[in-house]
Structure 1
Amino acid sequence: MNLRTFLLGTCSAVALAGLAQAETLTIATVNNGDMIRMQKLTDDFTSKNPDIQLEWVTLEENVLRQRVTTDIATKGGQYDIMTIGTYEVPIWAKQGWLLPLDDLGPEYDVDDLLPAIRSGLTIDGKLYAAPFYGESSMVMYRKDLFEKAGLTMPDAPTWDFIADAARKITDKGNEIYGICLRGKAGWGENMAFLTATANAFGARWFDENWKPQFDQPEWKNALDFYVKLMNDAGPPGASSNGFNENLSLFQTGKCGMWIDATVAASFVTNPKESTVADKVGFALAPDTGLGKRGNWLWAWNLAIPAGSQKAESAQKFIAWATGKDYLKLVAEKEGWANVPPGTRTSLYENPEYQKAAPFAKMTLDSINAADPKNPAVKPVPYVGVQFVAIPEFQGLGTAVGQVFSAALAGQMSVDQALASAQQLSTREMTKAGYIK
């Protein structure tokens, strides 16, 4: 064997050994804009951690929830890192399904996480998921359409004002719809919006004895209002529209108003993505004068399933993706207005962010105004603004979401949908032992 052959063989062996030692993290995530951006920026992580490779499984929101829930409940072990919501974290942590994040490194600064967001991810003093972005909900609206109609959006509008304005600015002949609201069935899709909205109408999922409340007038008022408003001023096919579909409609100039996640603010004001970027205003989620606004509280978080054998590498990635330096990286590449919002106090104290993001204060005010422990006008036995923090809610919320979506599509009446929701909920809560 000559020297050149020997050296080539040695180099190949070293390279193969390096590849063999590299760990591959499989990450399940949602197909929202901030997550897609993160995937494009991960060269920054892998260049600093050449011994870690990343494999992405990117899914639509409802599919993601189904896949990760099945995997973690059956100990399938498909994923090393999961993107999960504020709903799942406390439930799964108590089941022993998640590993605590106790090794995020000295630079991470857990105390900088916004208290409202951090508290939902902390169980018995331990952090079980790290927030990638946090959100509440608010009104996004077209200032030019309001001006043309002679309307002025209040900072804190009522639902009656929103409905009146939506009907006035609708111009179906030019494909401009006064309002876009979620209609796609799912506990985290239409039911996130409708549950938060129902709170403002005085409705609640359950009374103090866990008896379902869909047979009460408050739910009738809320669902009637929503269906009539969407029929009058919403886009066609609204029962198929979730967050991403409505985002696209708003960005292309087809929605006069959109009430949804505060995280959308950077997408609707980004001139690279939105045709109406310079025309968008913001307001708090509406109320009906009963003392509760329809603003929810949510975070998409990165967590490690207890079955993962790669916890050390997974925590390194989570620290990178949810740390302060990642925000600076996005700001450098995309501008401060596009950094993931709603997670860190330091971001909202940053003058550069305040200057670049006209929605920053409204986002923070909305997050801080949400009250998961007292979400409804009347007392409730559960925690959660746009969800009920019990394991059964995932299936039940989706089942109710399906009948409400059918009511929006005109496949059944509001009364039929509410009767069905009452029946479904009563059966499920009795079966689960909540109703004695």
Structure 2
Amino acid sequence: MNLRTASLLAAALLSAGAAHANTELVIATVNNGHMIEMQKLGKHFEAANPGVKLKWVTLEEGVLRQRVTTDIATKGGQFDIMTIGLYEAPIWSKKGWLKPIATDAAYDVDDLLPAIRSGLSHEGKLYAAPFYAESSMLMYRKDLADKAGVQMPEQPTWAQVKDFAAKAHDPKAGVYGMCLRGKPGWGDNMALLTTMVNTHGGQWFDMQWKPQIDSKPWKDAIGFYVDLMKQYGPPGASANSFNENLALFNEGKCAMWVDATIAASFISDPKQSKVADKVAFAQAPVATTPKGANWLWSWNLAIPASSTKDAAAQAFIKWATSRDYINLVAKEQGWAMVPTGTRKSTYANPEFQKVAKFAAAEKKAIDSANPNDSTLPKSPYVGVQYAAIPEFQAIGIAVGQQMSAALSGKVTVEQALKTAQTMAEREMKKAGYYK
């Protein structure tokens, strides 16, 4: 090695070290189990990257969303890494608010599940790396199905589901035929209800961006939902979201539940669930079309364009969303606790398959969800259970409140849909989508 080559190599090593020397990475994240585990395991990253210190800002989902949206829109620069959803990724990458993720051969981007990779990419580049992902599916009590003489198909119709709900519903014994989300919010009741609208042949907006909430598919879907829950749901269902229904199911109080695939690992865990040995899984129910019957969501790590610590941020994201990280969680916590929904290699792993009896159903649900084609009529938006436009959050929250009011009997389904349509039209006109 000549002197010039040696000095160039030394300079390169020095600059690589400098990129990491005394760097504090501020990471905004959500306060759920998988993210709390990531914080605990962060010490492994710090040990492998001397000079980098991780500083965590852990927030509830709604607060996190507010904080990171304000920061990125104003170029505030408070965070070096943000936890963002599948909703924000396409909007923010198009606006130039995120740095592309620099992947290499070791990261193996082809190992990412295609539906998730596609949802996080813009013009062929990955703009956020998936930490864990989920779809939705039907979780049910196999013992109650057997008792009722019901053979659950791999993908039932909503009519078949209602039939089983009627047979299993036994409030005196503390069992309700169906548990579903009722709590208002674009990511609460509207996540479920949008999939029900999709499979009944509906959509949020037509190709001219005109809201379609007062259409027949919406009336059919919401009418069916309200009727199903009034007859066979638990009392106070309009206040229930994921956590409330999880608690009910784990107590043995739900014959069925349609919700996030991530729930499967909790309800089949004997430490948490009284019915762990009695649960089975099927694909989310369908009606007129299978399109958009099950949602797609992921929590992802992204780098705001304002970050000045690109090298260290890229290194951390690659570490936290890698195959090695999944193996580290398995070593520390066991395969039942690994973040799922992101990599093909997780589902191919025999150790994971052994402990996760839901694995095949979960992967099938994620693979079948297509954010670019989730409605029977052509739609101008990307997203299965949401429309990836900035105005959707406000519209989804307002519509969710109307649907919750219909479920609790404060208004009729027709009134709720009419009010929701008027509000959505007003918002879309104000934002200039149509006149």
TM-score (normalizing by structure 1): 0.90
1:166–1:22 distance in 2 versus 1, CA, 3 Å: farther
1:43–1:171 distance in 2 versus 1, CA, 3 Å: farther
Residue 4 (structure 2) aligns with: none
Residue 386 (structure 2) aligns with: 387
Cα offsets for 1:57-116 (capped at 9, x unmatched): 3333333222222222222333222111111101101112111111x5552112211121
1:258–1:32 distance in 2 versus 1, CA, 3 Å: farther
Q: Quote the Cα distance in structure 2 between the aligned partners of 1:170 and 1:61.
A: 33
Residue 15 (structure 2) aligns with: none
How much has 1:419 moved relative to structure 2? 0.8
Q: Quote the Cα distance in structure 1 between the aligned partners of 2:373 and 2:106.
A: 35
1:434–1:21 distance in 2 versus 1, CA, 3 Å: same
Residue 331 (structure 1) aligns with: 330
Cα offsets for 1:290-340 (capped at 9, x unmatched): 343511122111111122222222222211211001111121222223211
On the 8 A contact 1:105/1:319 being kept in 2, the answer is no
On the 8 A contact 2:156/2:282 being kept in 1, the answer is yes
Q: Map residues 233-272 of structure 1 onto 2, 5 A cutoff.
A: 233-272=232-271
Q: Quote the Cα distance in structure 1 between the aligned partners of 2:419 and 2:432.
A: 20
Q: Quote the Cα distance in structure 2 between the aligned partners of 1:282 and 1:375.
A: 22
- Determine helix, strand or coil for the equivalent of 2:177: coil
1:433 equivalenced with 2:398 (yes/no)? no
- Determine helix, strand or coil for the equivalent of 1:29: strand
Residue 404 (structure 2) aligns with: 405
Q: Map residues 286-325 of structure 1 onto 2, 5 A cutoff.
A: 286-292=285-291, 294-325=293-324
Residue 73 (structure 2) aligns with: 73
- Determine helix, strand or coil for the equivalent of 1:186: coil
1:288–1:167 distance in 2 versus 1, CA, 3 Å: same
Equivalent AA in structure 2 for residue 223 of structure 1? I
Residue 95 (structure 1) aligns with: 95
Equivalent AA in structure 1 for residue 86 of structure 2? T
Q: Quote the Cα distance in structure 1 between the aligned partners of 2:411 and 2:68.
A: 32
Residue 348 (structure 1) aligns with: 347
- Determine helix, strand or coil for the equivalent of 1:42: helix
Q: Quote the Cα distance in structure 1 between the aligned partners of 2:402 and 2:365.
A: 29
Cα offsets for 1:254-301 (capped at 9, x unmatched): 222111111221122122222222111000100114343511122111
Count of paired positions:
416
Q: Quote the Cα distance in structure 1 between the aligned partners of 2:53 and 2:118.
A: 31
Q: Which moved more, 1:221-230 or 1:332-341?
A: 332-341
Cα offsets for 1:395-419 (capped at 9, x unmatched): 2112211221222222222112101
How much has 1:203 moved relative to structure 2? 1.3
Q: Quote the Cα distance in structure 1 between the aligned partners of 2:141 and 2:318.
A: 37
On the 8 A contact 2:196/2:221 being kept in 1, the answer is yes
TM-score (normalizing by structure 2): 0.90
Q: Which moved more, 1:181-190 or 1:280-289?
A: 181-190
How much has 1:196 moved relative to structure 2? 1.0
Q: Which runs of 5+ in 1 are unaligned?
A: 1-19
Q: Map residues 188-267 of structure 1 onto 2, 5 A cutoff.
A: 188-267=187-266
Q: Which runs of 5+ in 2 are unaligned?
A: 1-19
Q: Quote the Cα distance in structure 1 between the aligned partners of 2:67 and 2:166.
A: 40
How much has 1:355 moved relative to structure 2? 2.7
On the 8 A contact 1:285/1:293 being kept in 2, the answer is no
Q: Which moved more, 1:37-46 or 1:355-364?
A: 37-46
1:174–1:94 distance in 2 versus 1, CA, 3 Å: same
Residue 6 (structure 2) aligns with: none
Equivalent AA in structure 2 for residue 409 of structure 1? S
1:44 equivalenced with 2:62 (yes/no)? no
Q: Quote the Cα distance in structure 1 between the aligned partners of 2:238 and 2:29.
A: 24
